[in-house]
Amino acid sequence: MRRRTLLAGLAAVIGSVGLLAPAASQASAASDPAKATITIVHGIPGANGFPVDIYANGSKILSSIPFGWVITFKAAPGSYDLAIRGAGAAAASPAVLAGTVDFPAGTHKSVVANLTADGTPTVSVFTNDTSPVPAGKARVTVRHLAKAPAVDVVANSTLRVVQGAANGQEAVIEVPAARYELKLTLPGQKAGVYYTAYTFKEGVNTVMYAIGDIGGKFTVQPQEITTSVAMPAPIGS
């Protein structure tokens, strides 16, 4: 089953580097061709934050990971086995989800445990754009991964960053690097259901993960991926 297989990679790659605590949210695009760069997002809400324990190749490598948790790290490429259990469950108890996933060398991807539009737990995998950004610009990537209908995202009341994005979709836009007030709206509505603000930096791809349940526990979590600035060609070249 694809959902089980993809979710298997969520923790197994963490075990490959022995990582036990979250790292900084900013990931460099200067990739090591011998490594895989992976971002993990826990986007499924539940009681007390729905904490989970993650096992890789039979060993627990992360404990009590809560909803909204984001981490980026590098790992050796390869095929990994995973089991995910509720926090504190016995190691021999049946896993909530289990399986195997491959991450090739040079991978720069995000793996998100999230809800579908009808609230079914699933896993979504995205390739992160690390290509250069024009001078003075910032790249913004919005990913709709919440229990919610299609949404719009408006910046500074006028700039429509996302229009009609359905669950599982992403939208990418390049904007002048600056601080923006963001509003998320539902179809046919002008009033926002969620507000936030963020400074989008020059030469950075900021990924905004909309996760949770729009009618309950919901949040937008950022991830900054440093790319590079594409300078204009010299005049007369």
Residues of the chain under the 50 pLDDT cut? 1-25, 29, 237
Give CA–CA dist 84/115, Å, rounded. Answer: 16
Tokens 């995000």 correspond to: 110
C-alpha–C-alpha distance, residues 54 and 151, integer Å = 32
Alpha helical stretches, state H, the chain = 2-16
pLDDT of residue 24: 38
Would you say 161 and 151 are in contact if contact means Cβ atoms under 8 Å apart? no
Residue among 137, 110, 123 nearest 27 (CA): 110
Sheet holding 178-185, edge to edge: 159-165, 151-155, 178-185, 194-200
pLDDT of residue 123: 81
Q: Which two tokens stand for residue 135?
A: 């001078």
